[in-house]
Amino acid sequence: MNSTTLKWAGLLAAASIFAAGQAIAGPDNNKLMIDGKELVTDLKGPEGGPLEHIYSGWRFRASETQAFELDDFENPAFPAVDLGEELWNTVEGEAGKSCATCHNDASETMKGVRASMPKWNEKLGKPHTLETQINACRTENLKAEAWKWEAPNMLAMTSYIGLQSRGMPVNVQTDGPMQSWNDKGKELYYSRVGQLDMSCANCHEDNYGKMIRADHLSQGHINGFPTYRLKWGGLGSIHRRFSGCMKNIRATPYKRGSDEFIALELYLASRGTGLAVETPAVRN
């Protein structure tokens, strides 16, 4: 078989996967209420964007999965949030400081941080994600060791910081120095890659709401990360999810923290402008 035939085989397979799921269409109408507060899970898509209406991934999940997120006691991500809080107040590194030494009470100082990441950093000359920002703080100010992207401590810290923005609308900068990054992310989003020759858009823009085998396709917004995935049995970063998606289409994933994934993270965040931050969300 030559490569063209292989590609066609892949496309046909992909086409039949989508077709099988016409029975269930679109997101449900459930309301996401946490602690008596409603979180915005759908609104009109950002102007000039490809989606008329945007929906949080929560609206595509089974009601049993949704229920986990409704109550912080049931939400299995919260032991990690507790760990994050503990780490926030733990003195580490040669400078003898903790996060709290400079930033005091996270519930005030970290409000809105998750909603605006990735954020341009002049000194770095590129955008900071929450992970790189935390590590920059650790190595420069705390004089402590950087954490690995997917380390339990890193996930605990990103969920603890992310939680402080829960309910706030996602709002990232896409103009100025971020413009070129956003464009790069957009290009990646629409580029077909891998043996299945699919782009992000093939599933999450053209076919959201349909079933891809046993999975209900969402629009792929990233407003709930780090997310507790039942499949993972734990928390994972946005870039871990990207990696999984790329493996599914038989592509070689970029590295976590790579420029490609940072650009994609920015572009995806901008597609979900206005959705409430759900960190730490629970998904299947």
Q: Which is nearer to another protein, 85 or 278 (CB)?
A: 85
Among 26, 49, 50, 79, binds another protein (CB under 8 A): 79
* Residues 81-110 within binding reach of another protein (CB under 8 A): 82-83, 85-86
Looking up tokens 């420069």 gives 140
Among residues 161, 171, 155, which one has the least CA distance to residue 110? 161
DSSP string, 115-145: GG-SEEETTTTEEEPHHHHHHHIIIIII--P
Which region, judged by CB under 8 A, interacts with another protein, from 75-83, 103-111, 140-148, 192-200?
75-83
Q: Restricting to residues 155-194, which ones interact with another protein according to CB under 8 A? A: 156
Residue positions annotated with a catalytic role: 245
- What is the C-alpha radius of gyration for the chain, rounded to an integer number of angstroms? 19
Contact range with another protein by CB under 8 A, out of 72-80, 101-109, 187-195, 257-265? 72-80
3-state secondary structure of 267: helix
Piece in contact with another protein (CB under 8 A), picked from 78-86, 170-178, 198-206, 247-255: 78-86
Our finding on whether 37 is near another protein (CB under 8 A) is no
- Burial classification of residue 38, based on how many CB atoms lie within 10 Å of its CB (0-12 exposed, 13-18 middle, 19 or more buried): exposed
Distance CA 19, CA 153 (A): 42
Q: How far is the CB of 220 from another protein (least distance, A)?
A: 30
Residues that bind another protein (CB under 8 A): 71, 73, 78-80, 82-83, 85-86, 156
